[in-house]
């Protein structure tokens, strides 16, 4: 990670926590439709966006992610009926709190991508990668292993 950041041609590392039923399937659809999107994102599949513990986001940032994306089903379409609605409340507060502490708002991004939105998935990843590239490597809250 440290080497990566020292390099001229730095590429951001983005961790995406996605739900099994919508966004992961959407990513799958993007894949099988051969839609191109930047390779900077690492997907972590969870049952539901409601399963994403706010600490996962903090921990990812601490362990060197330059950006974190959380994505689930659109409101009203959650496989578990309301998991994404409780996620929405949690992340409304989390994003605001991290920004308040001075962590750039664009480092933590929340969105919805459904299973049929392969193109939207690719579009979101492009957009998020652009945003994080504009910010440059994360420096706050990052653990140094030197």
Please list, in sequence order, all residues whose beta carbon lies within 8 angstroms of the beta carbon of residue 98, skipping any fewer than 6 positions away. Answer: 57, 58, 105, 107, 108
Q: Residues 4, 11, 20, 86: which binds other proteins (CB under 8 A)?
A: 86
Binding mask 31-70 for other proteins (x = CB under 8 A): -----------------------xx--xx--x--------
CB nearer other proteins, residue 9 or residue 95:
95
DSSP for 39-60, please give it: TTEEEEEES-GGG--HHHHHHH
CB nearer other proteins, residue 9 or residue 86:
86
Residue 47, token pair as written in the block: 């049952």
Q: Tally DSSP H helices, then E strands, for the chain.
A: 5, 4
Binding site for other proteins (CB under 8 A): 54-55, 58-59, 62, 75-76, 82, 85-86, 88-104, 109-112, 120, 123-124, 127-128, 140-144
């Amino acid at each position: 990670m440290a080497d990566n950041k020292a390099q001229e041609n730095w590429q951001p590392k983005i961790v995406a926590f996605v739900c099994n039923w919508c966004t992961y399937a959407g990513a799958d659809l993007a894949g099988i439709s051969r839609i191109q999107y930047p390779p900077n994102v690492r997907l972590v599949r969870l049952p539901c966006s409601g399963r994403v513990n706010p600490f996962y986001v903090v921990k990812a940032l601490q362990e060197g992610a330059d950006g974190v994306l959380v994505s689930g089903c659109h409101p009203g379409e959650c496989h578990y009926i309301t998991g994404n609605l409780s996620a929405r409340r949690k992340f409304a507060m989390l994003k605001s709190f991290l920004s308040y502490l001075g962590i750039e708002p664009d480092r933590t991004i929340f969105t919805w991508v459904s299973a049929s939105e392969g193109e939207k998935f690719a579009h979101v990843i492009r957009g998020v990668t652009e945003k994080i590239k504009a910010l440059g490597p994360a420096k706050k809250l990052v653990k140094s292993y030197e």
